Amino acid sequence: MENKNIINPFAQKGRIITGETFIGRFQNLKSVANNVIDQNMPNNLAIIGYPRIGKSSLAKQGIIEQRQNLIEEKKVPVWIDFSKFSNRNSFFKYLVRYCFDELKKIGALDEDIKIIANDIFNQENWDDLTYNIERFYEYTVSLGYYFIIILDEFDEARGIFHNSSEAFKMLRELAYDGQKYGFAVVTTSRRSIKEIEVKSNCSSSNFNLIFTKEYLTIYNETEILSYFQLYENIEISLTQEQKEKILYYCGGHPYLLASLGFEIVEYYKQNNSLLDVNIENIFSKIRLHFLEYYEQLIDLLKEDKTFEKMLQILFGPMINVTDDDIKELRDTYGLLKDLHLLGGDKGLIAFSQHFQEYLQNLGRKVDFWSLWTNLETSLRGLITKVFQEKHQEEWQNQLIAFFPIFFNGLETDEKKIDGAIQKREKSKDDYKSDNLLDYLDAQPLFEIILSKNVWNNYFKDIFGGDKGRSDLEKKMQLIIKIRNPYAHSRFKSIKPTTVQQAEIYVKEILNMVNQYLKQI
């Protein structure tokens, strides 16, 4: 029977969290206090972090929850969901409307404020609109009122302020001169203000320069202890093994911890016990939610051109990774954390072991197959060019003569191997190609290049002579070795170092082929 007396402390998962279930963030809250609410004239603050990390919750807990005290000091907090506006004029009108409504709630309106606000609400011309907005805030600050404007989801400025540097300039004007306008801005966003300006096609804007930045990462050890205390508060005892399994799936990620925590508490309410319960079975109910979050996160990393670097850091080889890239992913955003190895060495892993394995099993597979596809395309292009130079229009006939097994197929008592010609005849019309090489995969393409029949007269100089042939054969063997396991999703059995080495070989071959093709 369900124990309805237990209130699930994770019931607000995925929403803005305040009050008793708001965990930790002591240093972040201190930064909000030091920069915003404790100042006579609040300063501007940008709260930055990846999705579901708790940015909005921090702003709500740190500012809106202090509303009564702030109002007593004539500091008026105003919460605005920036994603709801369609254009800059709409935003700025509603900005004044929200402030007007807050003044109305505390009985601070007079006739002059009403007249100025009415002029703004009925104004369409941009220059006149901004003039009257400045009048509004100049007047309210003359009455001793300051506004703390929280712009939640400020990433949406990319669309709302697109090609409108005037909009950024107007916000900067208001937020920069606090004594004149009594106006401070607190933003929550996934990206930095500078990145948002660039993506808004307003890179010349210097709105970014007026902000103190507060980056939000995953929970630290103290905050994780506070998370587990929420279970204790409702008399749910977790074993050490269960705690370790929760951290295996979630690391210190607030949203993932809350999501799994909600399911664990609901299970306990139904069964009144977690004794001998495998957390993995509870996790299976929300596994897809985790994967959806991973996909969202990876999409953002790809958009920021950070995903490939993250994979290089985690799995190698590090080709174009700098110390700044590592610091950004580890210290600024908390997506990586230190791993202490034997002998005192350190490494880096993803914020949770589950996400680490997801990246290894999915991310590296995607990366390898992208390289694999490029390799096959380049090898076909190379063989085509070389044989066309030697044989002009007869080049395919010459290939067939050299390698009938690949093109005409082979039939024995034991097996039948379709050649490229048979494959072309069997293919659908939409996918037919006149180039028979399009029906061969990498292994026969390599074998054509390495064949003693053609190597000396066709490919020897391209790959560095006889030594180049032995090097190419060694590389081919490793690349082909992991091709089939990857093709059939059996990549878990392949060591990451093997994949790294195969990728290096693929890139080296691609470089040699591309260098040759550029010369002709």
Specify whether the CB–CB gap between 9 and 234 falls below 8 A.
yes
Residues 6+ apart with CB under 8 A from 394: none
Neighbours of 125 (CB within 10 A): 10
Please name which of 348, 341, 412, 386 lies closest in space to residue 520, comparing C-alpha atoms: 386
Specify whether the CB–CB gap between 255 and 240 falls below 8 A.
no
Q: How far apart are CA 333 and CA 217, in angstroms?
A: 5
Mark out the alpha helices in 177-239 (DSSP H runs): 178-181, 193-199, 221-233
Residues 6+ apart with CB under 8 A from 186: 32, 36, 44, 45, 46, 47, 59, 63, 148, 149, 150, 151
Residue 499 CA neighbour count, 13 Å, CB half: 26
CA dihedral of residues 452, 458, 464, 470 (deg, nearest 10):
-20
Q: For the chain, what is the total number of helices (H) and then of strands (E)? A: 26, 9
Please name which of 395, 378, 467 lies closest in space to residue 436, comparing C-alpha atoms: 395
The reported pLDDT for the residue numbered 413 is 47
Give kind and range of the element (H or E) at residue 264. helix 254-271
Angle, helix 307-315 to helix 364-391, in steps of 10 degrees? 100
Report the Cα–Cα distance between both ends of the chain, in Å, rounded. 78
The owner of tokens 């024995």 is 412
**What are the CB-based long-range contacts (under 8 Å, 24+) for 170-176?**
170/92, 170/130, 170/133, 171/207, 172/205, 172/206, 172/207, 172/210, 173/134, 174/133, 174/134, 174/137, 175/44, 175/149, 175/210, 176/210
Neighbours of 164 (CB within 10 A): 19
Give kind and range of the element (H or E) at residue 60. helix 55-62
The reported pLDDT for the residue numbered 246 is 97
Q: Coil, helix or strand for 483?
A: helix
Q: How far apart are CA 184 and CA 202, in angstroms?
A: 21
Q: Which residues of the chain have pLDDT under 50?
A: 412-413, 488-489
The owner of tokens 């495998």 is 278
Q: How far apart are CA 288 and CA 92, in angstroms?
A: 40
The reported pLDDT for the residue numbered 487 is 55
Specify whether the CB–CB gap between 219 and 227 falls below 8 A.
yes
Please name which of 104, 129, 103 lies closest in space to residue 118, comparing C-alpha atoms: 129
Q: How far apart are CA 436 and CA 415, in angstroms?
A: 22
Q: What topology does CATH give the domain 25-215?
A: Rossmann fold (3.40.50)
Specify whether the CB–CB gap between 386 and 454 falls below 8 A.
no
Q: How far apart are CA 28 and CA 25, in angstroms?
A: 5
pTM over 0.75: no
The owner of tokens 């690349």 is 479
Give kind and range of the element (H or E) at residue 213. strand 212-215
Residue 305's identity, in one-letter code, is K
Angle, helix 307-315 to helix 287-303, in steps of 10 degrees? 110
Extract the tokens encoding 221: 């050890």
Residue 270 CA neighbour count, 13 Å, CB half: 8
CA dihedral of residues 291, 297, 301, 306 (deg, nearest 10):
-70
Q: Coil, helix or strand for 474?
A: helix
Neighbours of 171 (CB within 10 A): 25
Question: Which residues in the chain are classed under CATH 3.40.50.300?
Answer: 25-215
Residues 6+ apart with CB under 8 A from 377: none
